[in-house]
Amino acid sequence: GPVLVPILGDQLTRTLASLRGRAKDDTIVLMMEVSDEATYVRHHKQKIVLVFSAMRHFAEELRDAGWTVDYVKLDDPDNAGSFTGEVARAIERHAPRLVSVVEAGEWRIRHDMEEWADKFASEIEILRDGRFICAQAEFDEWAESRDTLRMEYFYREMRRKTGLLMDGDRPEGGEWNYDSENRKPPKDGLSAPERPKFEPDETTRGVIELVADRFGDHFGSLESFQWPVTRDEAEEAADAFFAERIECFGPYQDAMVAGEDDLFHSMLSTSINLGLLDPLELCQRAENAYRDGKAPLNSVEGFIRQIIGWREYVRGFYWHQMPQLQKANALNAQRSLPEFYWTGETDMACLADCIRSTRDNAHAHHIQRLMVLGNFCLLAGISPREVQDWYLVVYADAYEWVELPNVAAMILYADGGTMASKPYAASGNHINKMSNYCSGCKYSPHKKTGEGACPFNPLYWHFMHRHRERLEKNHRIGRIYATWDRMGERKQVEYLESAEVFLESLQPAGEGWARS
Ligand code: FAD
Ligand code: DLZ
Ligand code: SF4
């Protein structure tokens, strides 16, 4: 029989390890739309459209290049509903001598894959995913020798390994990191050139109909679907970023402006995660922009660090810490996620805008996910499990390998500080400094407690107070308790009571939003 090559929905590249060196007339590519993947959490509708449409376009691209593709659609009456079920059916159809597959990105699926060898009579080969720069063994080796796993040190290894922005064995410009230049608040009226928007073609329109029909009650809007769904479109999106936005990417990386959903961010995560764009190639293009004098070092270094630093690091961290990471809850946070995370109905203008963008675009940019949406969950003590589900559902770029480390370790400190040296806690002042949200808000960031006070202010001290025992020992945050102690009891009680009143007012989301 032939070789059967299953390609999962986030493995859409012709350079995939399982295709390399194969004879086209001896290979059957298997692609499967399965209900299990669309519903293990109730993904944002745009995410399902994105994955299915990109899969259908990629299947066409492979066929045009001469490959035989066996494509199972979601509405195929015999669809088994899962990868394992569909691979079983394909083995019956094709009697392959070998099933060659690239390891899944998520623990859930990799676990299933590892059972294929026992379940099926065909030989099974599971290959390493060559799209990542750092092999897992390499990450594990790096991690073994330390107690804390700081991204910054990992990143330097990746710079040396790839040679990106290196000047011999020294970092270009003399520093590894130029983030101190990358914290500009938004000036009045800050806005960015519009990025290319990709109108749905016939294939995408077909998938939109399917998703409206089958998953119409999932979170999120379908109206504004504009994601790149092919490699060509993704390249066009990358071209526009390198031509028009990378220059300001660094300085305004942490800025937020109401109604400006992309600012100078690349908006390339969905394409990178699907396989439409190669992360290393993008970094090389960024470096070229710097060498050609088209973009400053702080922007280019920042972009490269997000990819060969953060992206590679969270993936290594995920596999290093799974499956425990899913259950980690070092701060014992137990509160339910508020319903407004799903409805967007809140008087807090910053949260309302971030949730609106999330609903309309299946996207929010990094600092919105971190400083507003994540910070709130940290301070309010929302249960990690519920926060994880929310982030996995709502973003078009969300896969557990990248979502979980960011949520559990980066925003919630649920790993107890293996990733972050301190919890990322911020008060209303900080959000006010980095955004224009507060001028349109019912609350005031300058008011500390009581009626009209920005809820982030009392929540901040409530958080610090309830975790004093753990955080006081932390050298980066411990000093804050001197400020707290100086306030005096009356002020302290005001903070704590204001926070309690606010927390009591939160309406819990209830079941059914994230999982059936
Ligand atoms: P840019 O700002 O242009 O950054 C360039 C690229 O760097 C991104 O495309 C992405 O590939 C990479 N990158 C940047 N930051 C990170 C990071 N922290 N972790 C991994 N890669 C990073 N990103 C996802 O791809 N999927 C997720 O499910 C996801 N969940 C997140 C959850 C939380 C709580 C936080 C704080 C961050 C999360 N991120 C996630 C990271 C980041 O927010 C997005 O990658 C980014 O907003 C995507 O938009 P962009 O392409 O415009 O990014
Ligand atoms: C996210 C997703 C969805 C919604 N649907 C499918 C699908 O029907 N078929 C498929 O091959 N992949 C899908 N994906 C992406 C997978 O969830 C992803 O490949 C796994 O999480 C493995 O990491
Ligand atoms: Fe957000 Fe507080 Fe500013 Fe309102 S006042 S936008 S709640 S930070």
**Mean pLDDT of all residues belonging to the chain:** 97
pLDDT at 204 over 90: yes
- As beta bridge partners, residue 72 has 32
* 116 located within any domain: yes
Q: What is the mean pLDDT of residues 79-106?
A: 98
Contact by Cβ (8 Å): 409, 415: yes
Contact by Cβ (8 Å): 144, 109: no
- What local confidence, expressed as pLDDT, does residue 147 receive? 83
Angle among Cα 241, 430, 270 to the nearest 5 degrees reads: 30
Domain with residue 457: its CATH number is 1.10.579.10
pLDDT at 187 over 90: no
Q: What is the mean pLDDT of residues 360-385?
A: 98
Is the same domain home to 10 and 67?
yes
* 332 located within any domain: no
Encode pLDDT of 219-269 as tens digits.
999 999 999 999 999 999 999 999 999 999 999 999 999 999 999 999 999
Of residues 180, 433, 417, the one with CA closest to residue 302? 180
Q: 511 exposed, middle or buried (CB, 10 Å; 0-12, 13-18, 19+)?
A: exposed
pLDDT at 146 over 90: no
Q: How far apart are CA 168 and CA 176, in angstroms?
A: 13
Q: Tell me the CB-side half-sphere exposure of residue 225, using CA atoms within 13 A.
A: 27
For ligand 3, mutation pick of 340, 350, 351 (most atoms within 8 Å of CB): 350
Q: What is the mean pLDDT of residues 72-76?
A: 97
* 514 located within any domain: no
Q: What is the mean pLDDT of residues 205-212?
A: 98
pTM of the model: 0.98
- The residue contributing the CA closest to ligand 2 atom 23 is 105
Q: Is 38 in the pocket of ligand 2 (CB under 6 A)?
A: yes
Contact by Cβ (8 Å): 425, 460: yes
- What local confidence, expressed as pLDDT, does residue 85 receive? 98
What is the total count of domains within the chain?
3
Of residues 382, 307, 276, 301, the one with CA closest to residue 339? 382
Is the same domain home to 159 and 260?
yes
227: helix, strand or coil: coil
Q: How far apart are CA 40 and CA 327, in angstroms?
A: 17
% of the chain beyond a pLDDT of 90: 97
* 329 located within any domain: no
Ligand 3 atom nearest 442 alpha carbon: 4
Q: How far apart are CA 249 and CA 296, in angstroms?
A: 10
Q: How far apart are CA 272 and CA 257, in angstroms?
A: 25
* 35 located within any domain: yes
Q: Is 454 in the pocket of ligand 2 (CB under 6 A)?
A: no
Extract the tokens encoding 308: 């060969």
- Which residue is it, tokens 């209900």? 35
Q: Is 365 in the pocket of ligand 1 (CB under 6 A)?
A: yes
Q: 93 exposed, middle or buried (CB, 10 Å; 0-12, 13-18, 19+)?
A: exposed
Report the DSSP pairing between strands 166-167 and 170-171.
antiparallel
Q: Is 370 in the pocket of ligand 1 (CB under 6 A)?
A: yes
Extract the tokens encoding 400: 């557990």
Domain with residue 312: its CATH number is 1.25.40.80
pLDDT at 372 over 90: yes
Tell me, what's the ipTM?
0.99
% of the chain beyond a pLDDT of 70: 100
Is the same domain home to 293 and 436?
no
How many CB atoms are located within 10 Å of the residue 387 CB? 24
Q: How many Å lie between the centroid of ligand 1 and the Cα of residue 359? A: 17
Q: Is 379 in the pocket of ligand 3 (CB under 6 A)?
A: no
pLDDT at 87 over 90: yes
- What local confidence, expressed as pLDDT, does residue 145 receive? 87
Q: How many Å lie between the centroid of ligand 1 and the Cα of residue 458? A: 29
Is the same domain home to 241 and 293?
yes
Q: Is 362 in the pocket of ligand 3 (CB under 6 A)?
A: no
Q: How far apart are CA 331 and CA 95, in angstroms?
A: 52
Is the same domain home to 264 and 287?
yes
Encode pLDDT of 307-335 as tens digits.
999 999 999 999 999 999 999 999 999 99
Q: Is 296 in the pocket of ligand 3 (CB under 6 A)?
A: no
Is the same domain home to 87 and 190?
no
Is the same domain home to 220 and 267?
yes
- What local confidence, expressed as pLDDT, does residue 148 receive? 84
Closest ligand to residue 447's CA: 3
Closest ligand to residue 8's CA: 2
Contacts 24+ apart (CB under 8 A), 238-241: 238/266, 238/268, 238/271, 238/277, 238/282, 238/285, 240/193, 240/195, 240/196, 241/195, 241/266, 241/267, 241/268
Extract the tokens encoding 172: 């270009």
Closest ligand to residue 402's CA: 1
Structural domain harbouring 412: 340-505
- Which residue is it, tokens 């100086």? 486
- The residue contributing the CA closest to ligand 1 atom 8 is 269
What phi and psi, each to the nearest 5 degrees, are found at residue 164?
A: -70, 135
Q: How many Å lie between the centroid of ligand 2 and the Cα of residue 143? A: 29
Q: How many Å lie between the centroid of ligand 2 and the Cα of residue 80? A: 14
1: helix, strand or coil: coil
Extract the tokens encoding 416: 């107890």
Q: How far apart are CA 369 and CA 351, in angstroms?
A: 10
Encode pLDDT of 460-499 as tens digits.
999 999 999 999 999 999 999 999 999 999 999 999 999 9
> Within the chain, how many helices (H) and strands (E) appear?
25, 7
Q: How many Å lie between the centroid of ligand 2 and the Cα of residue 346? A: 33
Q: How far apart are CA 402 and CA 416, in angstroms?
A: 18
* 511 located within any domain: no
Q: How many Å lie between the centroid of ligand 2 and the Cα of residue 13? A: 14
Instruction: Report the 3 state secondary structure along 467-481.
Output: CHHHHCCCCCCCCHH
Domain with residue 101: its CATH number is 3.40.50.620
Closest ligand to residue 346's CA: 3
Contact by Cβ (8 Å): 437, 443: no
Q: How many Å lie between the centroid of ligand 2 and the Cα of residue 10? A: 6
Is the same domain home to 260 and 303?
yes
Is the same domain home to 446 and 426?
yes
- The residue contributing the CA closest to ligand 3 atom 2 is 454
Extract the tokens encoding 386: 């519920």
